[in-house]
Amino acid sequence: MTTQTGAIVADDENSLKAGERGPALLEDSVLLEKIQHFDHERIPERIVHARGFGAHGYFELTDSLKGISRAGIFNEVGVQTPVFVRFSTVAGNKGSTDLARDVRGFAVKFYTKEGNWDLVGNNIPVFFIQDAIKFPDLIHSAKPEPDREFPQAQTAHDTFWDFASLMPESTHMLMWTMSDRAIPRSFRMMEGFGVHTYRFVNEKGAATFVKFHWRPKLGMQSVVWDEALKISGADPDFHRRDLWNSINEGSFPEWELGLQLFDEDFANKFEFDVLDATKLIPEEVLPLRIVGRLVLDRNVDNFFAETEQAAFCVRNVVPGIDFTNDPLLQGRIFSYQDTQLIRLGGPNFQQIPINAPQCPVMHLQRDGHMQMAVPTGRVNYSPSSLQADSPRQDPQRGLTSFAEPLDGNKLRIRAESFADHFSQARQFFYSQTEPEQNHIISAFIFELSKVETKAVRERMVGQLANVDPEIAERVAKGLGLQGKIQPVPTTVEARTDLDPSPSLSILAKAKETLEGRKVGCLLADGTDANLIKALKTGAEKRNANFAVIAPKVGGALMSNGKLVEGDFQLAGGSSVLFDAVFVALSEDGVAMLLKEAAAVAWVHDAFSHCKVIGATEAARPLLDAAGVISDEGVLLGANAEEFLSRAAEGRVWQREPKVRTIY
């Protein structure tokens, strides 16, 4: 052990004192250095996306885009480009829960041979606002209210909904954030989007519009709201633990990169403005072209040095990738770089290893706070003639912008093509399956029920009436609002002729699989050992994790007299942590667990969250005590194969009307 200057430390247990019981001495350089560094360990957390988790991996191109983009990363099939990916929630602080209802950040840093490219996106393809000038207002409204500093990591309060009800452009995004997309089961099971329309530019300077989509190999999955609340209590680190463990176990998360590529002619003919960040292009209108895959295969060595110091900047692009005139994107180009200057201490944050390019870096920028490099030579300016090897511009290979013709007066104005705020909101809602629609309605009711100001609740329902009267009526009924709903005046009425887009639904394209999922088995003394072996073997065969929950973490004695250790103790292994559950109890085990409220709650939660439940015949009294009603997802007396096959089909959504009120 040494000090920061390399001096070997002889004693790290005791400070230097004047005598055995005397005062500590100010000359103790080891003590001073250690305490002083500790006092300065924290840096300002991100204003948004403060709670995040990252991992390393690579991007591999599978379909060349030669002739469309001159970016090297999109030209040579098979080349693997190193990446660092950070997932995050938006509104909460660093100490908030993973399972907040929120947008999830999906930021990818590509360390390309031509420099770093940061694709800083979300798990939702649209956003709340159209112009960056409103971003501070949006975030101020969503954060804890300034006079009381609560609630944390949630939008269920007056200021957010006051803002949203006065900003009709946010309505489409509200549909997404009230949907199951905002409470994903795992980072590994959510989509990602670049949100904005960007440009690819080829060797001849010709441009193609592009939208970026990440598609998870495991398929999408979300939790239900009551489950999210309970997971937040049972394991607030649920998402980060899931990602860390999956990589450690060698089950590397993977996504496909899909692109929507289109030209000016398509953009001009499309029904909505492609520069409006509150709109999307349905895949049924413009299918994805799959061009590569993203694999995360290495956890960080140190969270602070890598994940916390990772600085994603929207303006980090490479030759062949360019921006558009999206007014929200234009503001982000400035904002991300600006915020890193205060977070990371100055203009040299790109030299921090996690941010440093993995290609040659040559420039004439000098000095500044925390300068790590040692530039040599006398030339730090351009043009110059005194030093032959000083950096020079390269017009042929360098970063150039698309030569877009521009004309017009300087105006503070919103384009008329941005004025339709409700049509795609309606399209999104009616693209969902019935259970998903019910969840959206329930989410609006929950959030607005937390709003103390009646006028805000009424105004928000009035905005929903512009999307569709039936949606507004259902929410109003759940809130107990009396009287006729008054739609908020609008200039553009919602279109009813847009076709549903099944690609916008989670359940419509759900995969029947247990891969990457977790099966929980509740057992106690006397449980059939052969059943546990069959369940574990079957789950692992399907690439699912199998976990044992026992009254004591030390385990339980099986029917053959052998001890099976528990992965979780009953109170610490709630059923909300698993995708499907099996109650593998003997008569003696049931008699013991019927006295445990935690065991009854374990089964009750699994049933109310619409999970597939397998159980031995002997477990029936515990199921009865938990209020379990027989249906196709309750497999009493089933063997391991029957249970696992049904669990792979997903949750039992037809059960939902039996366990909660549907408005």
Looking only at the bridges linking them, the beta strands covering 556-557 and 563-564 are antiparallel
**Hunting for tokens 């500044």 — which residue is that?**
368
Burial of 496 (0-12, 13-18, 19+ CB in 10 A): exposed
Q: Is 122 a catalytic site residue?
A: yes
Q: Which of 14, 37, 40, 49 is catalytic?
A: 49
Distance (Å, whole) CA 566 – CA 556: 8
The tokens for 195 are: 């949100």
DSSP alpha helices (H): ranges in 560-655? 587-593, 597-608, 620-625, 640-648
Distance (Å, whole) CA 315 – CA 338: 11
What DSSP character marks residue 255?
E
> Across the strands, what pairs with 289?
259
CB 349 within 8 A of CB 116: no
What's the length of the chain?
663
Q: Is 639 a catalytic site residue?
A: no
The per-residue DSSP string of 361-404 comes to --------TT------SS--SSS-SS-TTS----TTTS------
Distance (Å, whole) CA 187 – CA 190: 6
CB 286 within 8 A of CB 274: no
Q: 338: closest CA among 55, 136, 90, 52?
A: 136
Q: Which helix (H) or strand (E) holds 533?
A: helix 529-541
Other C-beta atoms lying within 10 Å of the C-beta of residue 331: 18
Distance (Å, whole) CA 474 – CA 89: 29
The set of residues, in sequence order, having a beta carbon less than 8 Å from that of 552 and lying 6+ positions away, is: 566, 569
Distance (Å, whole) CA 42 – CA 23: 29
Omega within 30 of 0 (cis) for the link into 405? no
Main-chain dihedrals φ then ψ at residue 200, nearest 5 degrees? -95, 145
Burial of 287 (0-12, 13-18, 19+ CB in 10 A): exposed
CB 97 within 8 A of CB 50: no
Give the max Cα distance, the chain: 90
Query: Could you give the 3-state DSSP secondary structure of residue 24?
Result: strand
Main-chain dihedrals φ then ψ at residue 410, nearest 5 degrees? -75, 120
Distance (Å, whole) CA 26 – CA 15: 10
Distance (Å, whole) CA 171 – CA 415: 18
Query: Could you give the 3-state DSSP secondary structure of residue 540?
Result: helix
Distance (Å, whole) CA 202 – CA 205: 5
Q: Which of 56, 116, 122, 213 is catalytic?
A: 122
Residues with catalytic function: 49, 122
